[in-house]
Structure 1
Amino acid sequence: MSEHLTVVTHPLVQHKLTIMRDKDTSTASFRQLLREISQLLAYEVTREMAMTMKQIETPMCAMDAPVLAGRKMVLVSILRAGNGLLDGILELVPSARVGFVGLYRDEETLQPVQYYCKLPPDLGDRLVIAVDPMLATGNSSAAAIDLLKQAGARNIRFLCLLAAPEGVARMKEAHPDVPIVTAALDERLNEKGYIVPGLGDAGDRMFGTR
């Protein structure tokens, strides 16, 4: 993937996102829609995975058929909201290895604070997809990618549901080699660092917390 930002404009993605944005959408519906939309976004973020050929026997004859090449891919959930995207992608790629990076945003400084990091081995040999529904200031996302690179990851992609221009710019500055796939590039951030028009706090809406 060469473009730094890919906005997935598929009609099903956009329709589901509109329902998720609606403040009257229930927690259960929001969670289900996030699972569904994550699979559609995963289709795009995995589009250029490496392939190789394998000989198989169909009921009719032998043939050389395409299969995924290399080590199993790694999905890294940026906690806690990243888990909502993780579930859907794992249904699509059940063999993927999974890592977790725990970051929270200091409400005063808007800077990320790390509290957890657990990653699979051999990241340098694997495609690594970091997932977080919201790319807002970009500070937490950039910090998470820092951790992945420190652990040896070289082929990294970032998957999010919504992005703000400020977050995209921050990621491009910090990690120009990491392509971003999202369902929408929204207008801006508000004074509290939330995406506008956005959909509120993805974690709260997913888990029914405030």
Structure 2
Amino acid sequence: MKRDKRWEGVYSFEDSPFIMEILTELRNEKTGPIAFRKGLVKLGRYMAYEITKTMDVERVPIRTPLEETEGIIVKDRRNVVIITVLRAAIPLMEGLIKVLDHARVGIVSASRGKAPKFEIEMKYVKVPQIKPEDTVIIADPMIATGSTLIKVLDEVGKYGKAKRYVIVGVLAAPEGIGRIKERHPEVEMFVAAIDRELNDHGYILPGLGDAGDRAFGAPIKL
């Protein structure tokens, strides 16, 4: 995991050969929906492991069958809310929750309109009440223009103030990261890689296409 010096609290996994191998398969246009979904699940699980390294822990006394010793409890792992941005984030959330198994899960249906306005339509929001000790993790594979995530963050803020806000994604464009950090500077981001730029249609380059279409087998229209 490496911190990007351009922004505070933004991390990628470009130093991980394992993650880069999964990302290579996801980028490949020949990868079908089943393998694509499995790749997203793998990424979610791995990223959750890495995020636990940034969480607060508590040292506790325990007894083995042989003697007294000391162990730890990852306190923050007990207080997680995962917000799943439909539909592409469903497999990513599945991976996250394998590690963050105490998490409460919220669902947000948000879709981005066409260029150049990229208007966001939010049709469904179901978010649990957020507590001061919570870490809110928003799962969305593609951080492109940032418009969707800004709207989701604004909406989630209505349900309480959390200890941390974390975005977990597969790819991000610099333009999207910059917009999100400008509006919500407190938000942390963990992505597999930060790509070069956006094209005129708001797709990340080199990217991997539309993550929702590729995960669920819908026609791809770029």
The aligned residue for residue 196 of structure 2 is: 187
Out of 10-19 and 37-46, give the one that drifted further. Answer: 37-46
Out of 124-133 and 149-158, give the one that drifted further. Answer: 149-158
* Structure-2-length-normalised TM-score: 0.89
- Distance in 2 between residues matched to 1:17 and 1:122, nearest whole Å: 32
* Structure-1-length-normalised TM-score: 0.94
The aligned residue for residue 8 of structure 2 is: 3
Which structure is richer in relative contact order (CA contacts within 8 A, separation 6 or more)?
1
Say if 1:45 and 1:159, in contact at 8 Å, map to a contact too. Answer: no
Structure 1 residues 100-139: aligned runs within 5 Å: 100-108=107-115, 109-139=117-147
How far residue 43 of structure 1 moved from its aligned partner, in angstroms, is: 2.1
- Distance in 2 between residues matched to 1:13 and 1:3, nearest whole Å: 22
Say if 2:128 and 2:159, in contact at 8 Å, map to a contact too. Answer: no
Structure 1 residues 140-151: aligned runs within 5 Å: 140-151=148-159
How far residue 153 of structure 1 moved from its aligned partner, in angstroms, is: 3.2
2:36 pairs with 30, 33, 38, which one?
A: 30
The aligned residue for residue 21 of structure 2 is: 15
Structure 1: gaps of 5 or more residues: none
How far residue 195 of structure 1 moved from its aligned partner, in angstroms, is: 0.7
The aligned residue for residue 208 of structure 1 is: 217
- Which AA in structure 1 matches 2:48? A
Structure 1 residues 90-105: aligned runs within 5 Å: 90-105=97-112
How far residue 202 of structure 1 moved from its aligned partner, in angstroms, is: 0.2
- Distance in 2 between residues matched to 1:68 and 1:40, nearest whole Å: 16
The aligned residue for residue 45 of structure 2 is: 39
The percentage of counterpart residues that share the same residue type is 35
How far residue 105 of structure 1 moved from its aligned partner, in angstroms, is: 0.8
How far residue 81 of structure 1 moved from its aligned partner, in angstroms, is: 1.0
Q: 1:46 to 1:142 in 2, by over 3 A?
A: farther
How far residue 129 of structure 1 moved from its aligned partner, in angstroms, is: 0.7
- Which AA in structure 2 matches 1:139? S
- Distance in 2 between residues matched to 1:131 and 1:168, nearest whole Å: 15
How far residue 121 of structure 1 moved from its aligned partner, in angstroms, is: 2.1
Structure 2: gaps of 5 or more residues: none
CA deviations 1:114-161 (Å, max 9, x no partner) are 111111223332111111000000000111111122211331111110
- Distance in 2 between residues matched to 1:56 and 1:3, nearest whole Å: 38
